[in-house]
Copies of this chain bind each other. A is one copy, B any other.
């Protein structure tokens, strides 16, 4: 049996307990929970085959009553110093893997500031916010098969891009490679019927950080009329830890006032808007602090919208918020906004940047309020750009 010491001020204390998939040399993948700077192997400490799995999906599918029970048992293990010695690994000795098998991936567009900024940049001659935007959470399906775990190198995508002053497109590596700092919501319990906003917590297991890498030049040329495709589909990175919704009670807040009032299926009796603070670092320099609390649509509204037409939801479905941008310039979650389409470079130490260069690394971190003044950490999603082949 082992006692786990959580460092003072850790964002991974007993109130957080995020789940992930880890392995150590010579062993299979298993479900682990992060406590301080340790990973507890649940396959060896809770004695349930649902944790001896290469993904969280089976655990996530079991449902909220079981999520609550597992969490209580983990807390008890830790508080009674009852974690078996062979189930405890220092964080820096494990490999972390994609935490769940992704079913469908939907990406929303729920920040009013981001949608307004992008509207101004992509469609300078029209109203930035389109007529539907305040009536429904606009979203589209992304590519599930190219979602990768934090730390995976991102190869610069190639594709068609058309310069504004040229009549035809050419082909080559993206010249405007960007990030989108987002949060992702992972469905645990499937449904064949619409998931109302008040049923959100019975279906959504947890939350991770998402970097929706975006090639703006490819996107700008391809996206009319059917939306983004190759400008996004090459890679989307997620953090290795999924913070359970159960850890986010203190982070719940109201959405900004929604005018006009949404249709009844989008109303919430108590909102699932969340007070998450993100930090974006570009080659180690902080360039932005996007505030999730400024998002117009809550994740419960997004899921209700996503299923109101009768579309089923599956275990492993992930829906992301879309870029999180606040009202201030240093709160923008995409470089196209931070640099205003590349016209206002940002300074990184003794260098400047507009879009990503080969070798650049981006790290997005996030945390939210927990009980008694603690913080609930989501960890970090990182990725480094490697050259086009």
Question: Interface residues, chain A, CB within 8 Å of chain B?
Answer: 103-104, 106, 109, 119, 122-123, 130-132, 135-136, 138-146, 155, 157-160, 162, 168-171, 193, 215, 218, 221-231, 233-235, 260, 263-265, 305-306, 308-314, 317, 388-389
Contacts and interface: CB of A to CB of B under 8 A. Distances in A.
A161 to B, nearest CB: 11
Given A225-B122, A226-B227, A309 B157 contact: yes
Interface centre among A158, A170, A311 (most CB of B within 10 A): A311
B160 A135 contact: yes
B227 A136 contact: no
A344 to B, nearest CB: 23
A109 B106 CA distance: 20
Contact of A218 (B146, B157, B309): B309
A115 to B, nearest CB: 9
Contact of A144 (B103, B160, B235, B264): B103
B233 A309 contact: yes
Contacts of A158: 308-310
A136 B160 contact: yes
A227 B265 contact: no
Contacts of A146: 311-312
A314 to B, nearest CB: 5
A63 to B, nearest CB: 19
A11 to B, nearest CB: 33
B228 A226 contact: yes
B224 A143 contact: no
A83 to B, nearest CB: 37
A308 B230 contact: yes
Given A169-B135, A169-B263, A264-B171, A143 B228 contact: no
A150 to B, nearest CB: 18
Given A136-B160, A138-B226, 9 more contacts: A103-B144, A136-B169, A140-B227, A160-B263, A225-B227, A230-B311, A231-B309, A234-B311, A235-B310
A226 B140 contact: yes
A140 B141 contact: yes
Contacts of A308: 158-159, 230
Contacts of A138: 222, 225-226, 229
A168 to B, nearest CB: 7
25 contacts: A104-B144, A104-B145, A123-B225, A132-B162, A135-B160, A135-B169, A138-B225, A138-B229, A140-B227, A140-B229, A141-B143, A143-B311, A145-B311, A145-B314, A155-B310, A157-B311, A168-B260, A171-B264, A223-B225, A226-B227, A227-B227, A230-B311, A234-B310, A235-B310, A310-B389
Contacts of A135: 160, 168-169
Nearest to A155: B310
A288 to B, nearest CB: 23
Contacts of A263: 160, 169-171
A144 B102 CA distance: 11
Contacts of A225: 119, 122-123, 130, 138, 223-224, 227
Contacts of A264: 171
